[in-house]
Structure 1
Amino acid sequence: MGIAQIMEVVAVGKRVVRFRQSLARSISSILVISTGGSEGREGPIIQMGAAFASVVARGLRVSPERARVLVACGMAAGVAGAYNTPISATLFVVELVMGSFTMAVFGPAIISAFVSALLTQTVLGKSPLYHVPPFEINLVSEVIPCIVLGLLSGLSSVLFVRTLRWSKKLFKRSGLKDEWRMALGGLGVGIIGLYFPEVWGNGFEGTNHLLKADVVLWFFVALFGLKILATALTIGSGGVGGVFTPALMTGAALGGSIAIVFNQLFPYFTISVPGYMLMGMGGLLAGTTRAPFLGIIMMFELTQNQNLVLPMMIVSIVAISGAKLFERESLYVEELKDSGVEWKETPETSALANMKVKEIVRRDVGLIPANVPLSEIIKIFLQTRAFYVFVGDSNGRLQGVIDLHDLKEFIGDTGLSDPDTSRFIIAADLVREVPMVTPEESLASATEKLWLRDLGWLPVVDSEKNRKFLGIITRRDLLGAFDREALRNSRFFTRVRTDLALGNEVGYFELPEHHRLVQVELPHDFYGLSLAEADFRRRFGVSVLAVKRLTRDGHERRFVPTPEDRLEKGDVLIMLATDEATERLQKGVAYSQP
């Protein structure tokens, strides 16, 4: 589980951060970096921070919402510990992960980042991560170079992200086993490092070397391209680390190159090469993450040089604007979208964006044959309250829709305006095309189609190619789904699905007085017992409705247990219970011993 997948946990809550899996990935990342692989050290630290926070959340049995905040705090602690940048770590969480500056998120993130940075400074000291000779930037005379640097940083971030993506696709298409892919990627990085050893590792030492190196244009340009290539080989072949530090080194090489070119072409500027290297680092970071405040503040914390703040404001904004010309989303959001997760600004909107059409489809609407005459169609409208009918062929494929308003020209005050003509007009002659949606399409996409065409409904088909009719969704259903999602965490209601003869209905059921749905991790005493042997109802007064169990790949499996099903370590019981009954179960205090 990488950083993007941990963001999925925070935004949507459909996955769980497993400690053992995160530990294994962290060890793997450390080994890759220590043997020369080009990936960031923030990856394993963030993973371990999030995994530890997830363990704490399960141990304290907090609500899913608080568990997400704890995982986000673990990520903040990881960034703060990796770079000794507590403010940037907080911004990483609230700006990039949570998308919310509310105190419910901001406060805990600050505390976790503060504690992590304090421990880091106690062990490693308070000196800045990057040591740069004193420099000054005359912003009045250097506005144009700063804008150029920002624009090229944005374009370079696009090159950086796309190279990583292409590398992953190439290695995946190669058909090689994981170990051979890793070996091939390591071989490529090793060959590059024989001539340019600065590309080895996460980039920290290479960046410090660049900041102190002689000003040679070809050397900076070469490292710019080779660091991107080395990172692509490492990540694409299966590396599981981060990309922060490699991006910083790439930005340093870019900023140094631009400063050298400006000094040679326009001696009037007398640009500080180290200063522009630092701004290039922040610009590439901002363009890659789409987080302007993160780029600005992180460069200040990494160098403790306040001269960077004002020019970094220009560079960060221009870098993000330039990057958006070619890539709309950040590196992490693109990874989430590739895995089928729709990412929005906040966890709440992300959860709504990931609701699917199949959750609200109405299946009580049928098709009429394409050869039905006009007179029969009019009877359907007169005998029902429908304003539209859907037309299909003998195989159940949708051909189109007939709206009542489209028949006005055929209907007079006393019925059909021309009965003879109506015998020659059939449903196939009257249909018109309308937008369609598929079961796996998001409700956000369906809403957009509804509003663009000002429709009150949309037909649902299995695919736009086959067009097999499955039912419809209505604007009212969409609005109701959004309202119910907002109420999802209320302790007084629970979401239920009822199978009726007319189709599936989704609604909210008011719970019995003093009862609520709770999730409780299975106590140790019940490991290995069947549900019948545990006898939760008689002993504790709780009703087990379902069991949530983690699969090996970290996904949740939920099932309704039978009396014979054996309970396992790590199971989570979904129960209907009072607070007192839940407390009795957690403490093991039964009504009576079996």
Structure 2
Amino acid sequence: MMRDLLPHFRRRLASPEAALPYAVLGIVAGAVTAVLMILFRLALEWPLAYWLPGGSAENFEGLRSLWHFALPFGGALLLGMGLQFVNPIHRFTGIPHVIAALHNGRGRLPPGNMITQFIGGLVALLSGQSGGREGPAVHIGAAASSLFGAGLRLPNNSLRVMSACGTAAAIAASFNTPIAGVIFAMEVVMMEYTVAGFVPVILAAVIATTLSQAVFGAIVFLPAGDVNMSSLLELPFIALLGCLGGVLSSVFVLIQSRCLRWANRPVWLRLGIAGFVTGLCALAAPQVLGIGYDSLQATLDGSYGLQLLLILMLLKLIATSVSCGMGMPIGIIGPALLIGAFAGGAIGQLGAMAVPTLAAEHNFYVLMGMAAVMGAILNAPLAALLAVIELTHNLNIIFPAMLAVIAAQLVHRELFKLQSAHQTTLLATQQAVRANPVTLTLLRTSAAALIDRNLRHVAQKPDAETLANLLENPVRWLVITNAEGQRIIVHREHWFPVLSEVDEKELDSLDLLAALENRRRTAAFDINGTLMEALETMNQEGLDSLFVTARRQRRGPPDEGILTREALSDHYNLPIRF
């Protein structure tokens, strides 16, 4: 029974509207990702808790001053030397790699890149590099989910969905933020919102959060208290904070883009420079080392003065932007939150000095800054809002944070004319993605959903009995294989009238390719491919038709059909030529 079930399951997945099969994929992707996230987090936190003073996995500040420089610099050199022996195509990691794979690479994420990300991310974070664990988490979760689907030979359009599920599950399991994980997957990775797409992604986030909480508990990462805006008169001040967040995110991306120009230099040199810069910054302020959630909590608690906040904001921005631009396999969400928190804390203290009776509590502005900088750097305002809400469990910030996030977004995109940090990386590595509605629509559906299976294979010179049977039971498409092994197809409206008029005496000597007009050449196409891939194949080959088949089918009758440019046009009401 299972032999028949899997082919049927694959065929159902060809359409993006198959809610139940996609729900199953979401559950599987959530479970697979959660297990890997738990392993990754334990592999990171246990050694740090053992090595660092005080038994805290964040206490890089407790190390002797010499280690503040030696640890990130030595770790970066070690990682760079190791990556020298890795194939260059397997060095591209992180969220940009996932985005590129989903939009340009059929949703398939190579296992080599995932292994590089898992090991490289651990080495980088264990050595105190200025970055977050969400970049490695998203890559590992998306790749593991995609590979699981590829192992079952699922259609490429469903692999994209599984990667999105892995993304949401990774964010949810890593930070106990299921809603932010869902929105991040749709807003940043998939770059679209669809009702059908939410079903598997939400289920993946729920499953991953459940398993993560079973191991680590239902932890509030950043308890901030019940803070709120004290007066509507603060709104201009909040807008100003948002503008500052946009300036900081723009400086971050500008530094990153300059460092990306070194992409063709040896990897040991690039990572060595990143470690050297991070080490220098850490000598001045060791709080820049590591993920930095202890520093984030200290900022929320008001433990840092104004001068220290400004220094930390500047040094964290420099260390992280250089590291990301040089190719360090780390994430930027955590540092973005930290940079925003330092900026918000500084603005809050300045506001309290200027208008002590009007300003809200300092940690209110910390939360505003976190949302503003994260939203602008990622070009993901909604994901940033929800992330801050879920990390702090504070719903009071929604209204004012919306203003801060949009102000930062406008400054980043309109004043400085910049893309997100991830899009900047993709442009620098010549992997720009197309996110227009037509492309996304075609990527969402497999060729199997649109092929015409009403066909019959015939020889170029068939016998009279075959021809008589064709006339008695006409099919829509004749598939004729010529002497060169190429498949030629003819539609019924062209072959049926001709064969109907052929004299019975001529049937045995009839050459179909000579007798029939309106023949179409085809190219072979994998049934698991998306409609976008099919359209690109047609354009590259200069054809209007494809012969679609399951190339690796092991048993049963072949699942094959004809896909034409006209079928694409009729189904989506698109122009024939693109």
- Aligned in 2, Cα 1:309/1:326: closer, same or farther, shift over 3 Å? same
Q: Secondary structure of the residue that 2:128 maps to in structure 1? A: coil
Q: Secondary structure of the residue that 2:356 maps to in structure 1? A: coil
Partner of 1:47: 139
Choose which of 289, 296, 310 in structure 2 pairs with 1:200.
289
Q: Distance in 1 between matches of 2:233 and 2:539?
A: 69
What count of residue pairs does the alignment treat as equivalent?
385
Hey, which of these two has a bigger chunk of helix by percent? 2
Choose which of 550, 563, 572 in structure 2 pairs with 1:518.
550
- 1:279 matched to 2:368? The reply is yes
Q: Secondary structure of the residue that 2:398 maps to in structure 1? A: helix
Contact persistence 1:518–1:577 (CA under 8 A)? no
Choose which of 233, 252, 260 in structure 2 pairs with 1:168.
260
Q: Secondary structure of the residue that 1:506 maps to in structure 2? A: coil
1:327 partner letter: K
Give, in angstroms, the shift of residue 252 of structure 1: 0.3
Contact persistence 1:152–1:319 (CA under 8 A)? yes
Contact persistence 2:121–2:136 (CA under 8 A)? yes
- 1:334 matched to 2:424? The reply is yes
Q: Distance in 2 between matches of 1:496 and 1:28?
A: 36
Contact persistence 1:150–1:283 (CA under 8 A)? yes
Q: Distance in 1 between matches of 2:294 and 2:530?
A: 48
CA offsets 1:93-137 (integer angstroms, 9 cap, x no match)? 112222322222111110111111111222222131112244221
1:287 partner letter: A
CA offsets 1:371-395 (integer angstroms, 9 cap, x no match)? xxxxxxxxxxxxxxxxxxxxxxxxx
Choose which of 85, 104, 107 in structure 1 pairs with 2:199.
107
Partner of 2:545: 508
Contact persistence 1:135–1:275 (CA under 8 A)? yes
Partner of 1:530: none
Partner of 1:364: none
Q: Distance in 2 between matches of 1:135 and 1:540?
A: 64
Contact persistence 1:255–1:280 (CA under 8 A)? yes
What pairs with 1:40-79 in structure 2 (closer than 5 Å)? Answer: 40-79=132-171
Contact persistence 1:252–1:281 (CA under 8 A)? yes
Q: Secondary structure of the residue that 2:552 maps to in structure 1? A: strand
- Aligned in 2, Cα 1:347/1:98: closer, same or farther, shift over 3 Å? farther
Q: Secondary structure of the residue that 1:520 maps to in structure 2? A: coil
Q: Distance in 2 between matches of 1:19 and 1:498?
A: 30
With 308-317 and 203-212 compared, the bigger mean Cα shift is at 203-212
- Aligned in 2, Cα 1:519/1:226: closer, same or farther, shift over 3 Å? farther
Contact persistence 2:129–2:289 (CA under 8 A)? yes
Give, in angstroms, the shift of residue 28 of structure 1: 0.8
- Aligned in 2, Cα 1:318/1:344: closer, same or farther, shift over 3 Å? farther
1:505 partner letter: G
Contact persistence 2:107–2:160 (CA under 8 A)? no
Partner of 2:466: none
Q: Distance in 1 between matches of 2:209 and 2:215?
A: 10
Contact persistence 2:117–2:140 (CA under 8 A)? no
Contact persistence 1:26–1:48 (CA under 8 A)? yes
Give, in angstroms, the shift of residue 519 of structure 1: 4.5
2:121 partner letter: S
2:381 partner letter: P
Give, in angstroms, the shift of residue 347 of structure 1: 7.2
- Aligned in 2, Cα 1:340/1:263: closer, same or farther, shift over 3 Å? same
Q: Distance in 2 between matches of 1:136 and 1:77?
A: 30
Partner of 2:336: 247
Q: Distance in 1 between matches of 2:267 and 2:433?
A: 29
1:226 partner letter: L
Q: Secondary structure of the residue that 1:201 maps to in structure 2? A: coil
2:191 partner letter: G
With 115-124 and 94-103 compared, the bigger mean Cα shift is at 94-103
- Aligned in 2, Cα 1:261/1:141: closer, same or farther, shift over 3 Å? same
Unaligned runs of 5+ in 2: 1-92, 444-528, 563-578
Q: Distance in 2 between matches of 1:61 and 1:134?
A: 50
- Aligned in 2, Cα 1:184/1:343: closer, same or farther, shift over 3 Å? closer
- 1:91 matched to 2:183? The reply is yes
Give, in angstroms, the shift of residue 498 of structure 1: 10
TM-score when normalising by structure 2: 0.61
Give, in angstroms, the shift of residue 577 of structure 1: 8.0
1:301 partner letter: E
Hey, which of these two has a bigger chunk of strand by percent? 1
- 1:24 matched to 2:24? The reply is no
TM-score when normalising by structure 1: 0.60
Q: Distance in 2 between matches of 1:295 and 1:520?
A: 43
Unaligned runs of 5+ in 1: 354-487, 524-538, 543-574, 579-594
CA RMSD of aligned residues (A): 3.1
* Higher RCO (CA < 8 A, seq sep 6+): 2
Q: Distance in 2 between matches of 1:28 and 1:202?
A: 15
Partner of 2:307: 218
